[in-house]
Structure 1
Amino acid sequence: MAPSHVLVPLDGSPLADDALEHALETFECPITVVNVILPLDAPMSEGGLLGADEERVGAAREHAELVIEQAERQADVADRTVDIMIETGDPADVILDVAEDRDVDHVVMGGHGGDANRIAKRLLGTVATKVVAEAPVSVTVIR
């Protein structure tokens, strides 16, 4: 059954761009793209190591806007439009929440290498691993 609404999380990586390209080429339904800004006070963020300040907050927001602008250009090339979102939080949790809140029935995302001690994380990446494990909808991971 073809999905009626696809979510594509974007982080500016080539695999995320490939995920959007795949979604645009494969699915005729509405596509929502989301970029998740990691809170700068999170332990694994730059701000968690250096302390959050206005300059880093502004840089994170600027990066998110560039990622979204690139997605809009990519959609234009495919003669499509995408709904856009910029959210702040834990990336996997935000992706799962958006999928539920927006009645998404398919997620297409890039996979990234992760913790070398766990095979699933090496194959998919920590965010993708959590989304695949917890999403109540189908997930396509682009490698």
Structure 2
Amino acid sequence: MTERLLVPFDGSPLAERALERVAEKHSDAHVTLLYVVDPVGVVYEAEARGLPDAETWHERATDEAEETLADAAATLADAGCEVETAVETGRPSREILAAVEDRDIDHVVMGSHGRSGVSRLLLGSTAERVLRRSPVPVTIVR
């Protein structure tokens, strides 16, 4: 039976390392790459870039997520993995844990932190929440 992996992926350096680990160690797996658009994170990024247009921020964030996932999916496909991608919006830990249940995942592989700054603190706590609450094994890549 093919192992079903979930890789939460945001394009950060540690997410890239998690991706590399999956490509090296799980090349025969079915992998779901999940990008979670966090509305709270958008507020922090908006301060640096200027406030986003309330009607288009989600569309822009989703487009960026899909581009990020496309590159990651190509890397895994080249390694021999069967890959699907998903973009969800919400609190990252909740969306990751929901994906574990909804997609019948066997194993989660994720980076210990995501993006830098305040988002890094939030995503660091995301890894901890997933590790503590996941009903399946979780590998945290540093």
In structure 2, the partner of 1:46 is 43
Instruction: Return 5+ residue gaps in structure 1 as ranges.
Output: 115-120
Determine the C-alpha separation between the residues in 1 that align with 2:84 and 2:59: 23
Aligned residues: 132
* Bigger mean CA deviation after superposition, 93-102 or 21-30: 21-30
Q: TM-score scaled by structure 2?
A: 0.80
CA RMSD across the alignment: 2.7
* Bigger mean CA deviation after superposition, 22-31 or 53-62: 53-62
The superposition leaves residues 89-129 of structure 1 with CA deviations (integer Å, 9 ceiling, x where unpaired) of: 11010000000111111100001189xxxxxx98x811101
Does the CA contact (< 8 Å) of 1:110 and 1:141 recur in 2?
A: yes
The alpha carbon displacement at 1:20 in A equals 1.4
In structure 1, the partner of 2:138 is 139
In structure 1, the partner of 2:82 is 81
In structure 2, the partner of 1:108 is 109
Instruction: Return 5+ residue gaps in structure 2 as ranges.
Output: none
Q: TM-score scaled by structure 1?
A: 0.79
In structure 1, the partner of 2:5 is 6
In structure 2, the partner of 1:32 is 32
The structure that is helix-richer by fraction is 2
SS at match of 1:132: helix
Identity %: 39
In structure 1, the partner of 2:62 is 61
Distance 1:113 1:17, change over 3 A: closer
